[in-house]
Structure 1
Amino acid sequence: MSLDVKNVEIKPIEGYKYLHIVSMLFVTTLLISSILSMKVVTLGFLDAPAGIITFPIAFISGDILAEVYGFKITRRVIWTGLFCQLLMSVMFLIGEALPYPEYWELQSEFSAIVGFVPRVVAGGMIAYFIGEYLNAMVMSKMKIWDQGKRFWRRALFSSFIGQGLNSIVFTLVAFYGIYSINQLFIMIGSGILTKMVYEIIALPLTNYATKWLKRNEGVDVFDYGEEYRLIGAKKTN
């Protein structure tokens, strides 16, 4: 018996060619940040979770998503990232609890890392959702107010709001009771400062990426009438 095989063109998600790439970058850096954030690093005179080296990429990707594809699609990606974080945390817990052979001598080291992940992920999920949602909403609203001009202004302001709240919520949820209040304030301030410097340095590349995507996707969404609901946003008349 022979099969009649035909070439079938796969249609891109939502008709866009590059949406899946930006979305995958967003979620991947989010998950990496959750793991890295278990370590606190010293950058000069600043102390901050190690996830600071990758998490700004997630916010930059969020800026690009909101600027090019609009709030609805960005909200969908944000929810997807939240689910992936939860799934990762559950899988780590299961992996830690599974029995192991006697020759496996790294269980304590494994538990020291993975066992801390749920609290870090819990803080990360709460902080991420608040930060990314506000980042996307501010980007969307300011784009309408600016009539699509001055991308740099809304990118920086939305990131300051989103990443600022993210640093505060994450640090308090993930590390309260582990470090002193003074150390927590240092981590929060260091996180906000480092993320904003990161954002400013990357701004030319972010601006170029948004222009390139708009041109090659043939889209530039303005969220007129958007209600900015967490679930099931709809247009007003």
Structure 2
Amino acid sequence: MSTDYTNRQMKPDSLGLKYLHIVSMLFVTSLLISSILSIKVITLGFLDAPAGIITFPIAFISGDILTEVYGFKIARRVIWVGLFCQLLMSVMFLVGDALPYPDYWSLQNEFSAVVGFVPRVVAGGMVAYFMGEYLNALVMSKMKIWDQGKRFWLRALSSSLVGQGLNSIIFTFIAFYGIYSVDQLFILIGSGVLTKMIYEIIALPLTSYITKWLKRNEGMDAYDYDVGYGIV
């Protein structure tokens, strides 16, 4: 087999999945950004929530698109890739923080305060992310079959409510237990879920448009009949 033929065969276009890598990269990037932003707690009007809510809904929206267009098996694969990337980021932060530094470097305490806390945030995020995203994809996939592909808006919001609700509960308690009071933790959970859902509702017209555009241009609209829903 010639090299040119092999290269042509490896092009995404030849597989008919021209945009899968873009959606996957958006998913993983928003996930990593959220892990770092979530160190900070922000106030939005009367709501207090981790700053990760700015980008984390993008990961769930991307997850909805992955499951709706490409199917549960591909979405599950990307979820695992995201989990590995979170772990790698956390380990590299710990290594970078532990490495020796010259006397003129005067920001070690500030650096440690940020990246030293990230592994705890990431630990909470990894567990919460995997459970939330997995459940989000599962609900999205099942509802599509039950509803025969109708009412994308309903399964997108329903799956996100379930997935993001579980994610917020697990993440907040692992990342912030012992730092804030239990009452404050529940405020963070409630505020986080409410803000994320408002975010998703506002973004729903764009999400629906992108989903329809991808289905048309990829020539793919997956229905997960006879698909196993195991974690691997």
Aligned residues: 228
Per the alignment, in what secondary structure is the counterpart of residue 68 of structure 1? helix
CA distance in 1, matches of 2:72, 2:200: 20
Shift of 1:225: 1.5
Shift of 1:151: 0.3
Shift of 1:143: 0.2
Per the alignment, in what secondary structure is the counterpart of residue 106 of structure 2? coil
Q: What TM-score does the superposition give when structure 2 sets the normalisation length?
A: 0.96
CA distance in 1, matches of 2:75, 2:149: 17
Q: Deviations over 1:53-86 (max 9, x none)?
A: 0000000000000000000000000000000000
User: 1:55 maps to what in 2?
Assistant: 56
User: 1:36 maps to what in 2?
Assistant: 37
Per the alignment, in what secondary structure is the counterpart of residue 231 of structure 2? coil
Q: Deviations over 1:171-230 (max 9, x none)?
A: 000000000011101000000000000000000000000000000000000000122011
User: 2:12 maps to what in 1?
Assistant: 12
Shift of 1:6: 5.8
CA distance in 2, matches of 1:6, 1:68: 30
Q: Partner amino acid for 1:223?
A: D
CA distance in 2, matches of 1:157, 1:143: 11
RMSD across aligned positions (CA): 1.5
User: 1:133 maps to what in 2?
Assistant: 134
1:192 paired to 2:154: no
Q: Partner amino acid for 1:160?
A: L
CA distance in 1, matches of 2:142, 2:228: 11
The structure with the greater share of residues assigned to helix is 2
Shift of 1:15: 3.7
CA distance in 2, matches of 1:103, 1:11: 49
User: 1:213 maps to what in 2?
Assistant: 214
CA distance in 1, matches of 2:228, 2:215: 24
Q: Partner amino acid for 2:201?
A: I
CA distance in 1, matches of 2:216, 2:104: 57
Per the alignment, in what secondary structure is the counterpart of residue 48 of structure 1? strand
Unaligned runs of 5+ in 1: 232-237
Per the alignment, in what secondary structure is the counterpart of residue 179 of structure 1? coil
1:77 paired to 2:78: yes
Q: Partner amino acid for 2:209?
A: Y
Per the alignment, in what secondary structure is the counterpart of residue 201 of structure 2? helix
CA distance in 2, matches of 1:228, 1:19: 21
Per the alignment, in what secondary structure is the counterpart of residue 101 of structure 2? coil
Q: Partner amino acid for 1:81?
A: G
CA distance in 1, matches of 2:213, 2:188: 36
CA distance in 1, matches of 2:40, 2:85: 21
Q: What TM-score does the superposition give when structure 1 sets the normalisation length?
A: 0.94
User: 2:175 maps to what in 1?
Assistant: 174
Percent identity between the two aligned chains: 79
CA distance in 1, matches of 2:88, 2:228: 29
Q: Partner amino acid for 1:35?
A: I
User: 2:68 maps to what in 1?
Assistant: 67
Per the alignment, in what secondary structure is the counterpart of residue 41 of structure 1? strand
CA distance in 2, matches of 1:186, 1:46: 8
User: 1:235 maps to what in 2?
Assistant: none
Which stretches of structure 1, 4 residues or longer, exceed 6 Å deviation after superposition? none
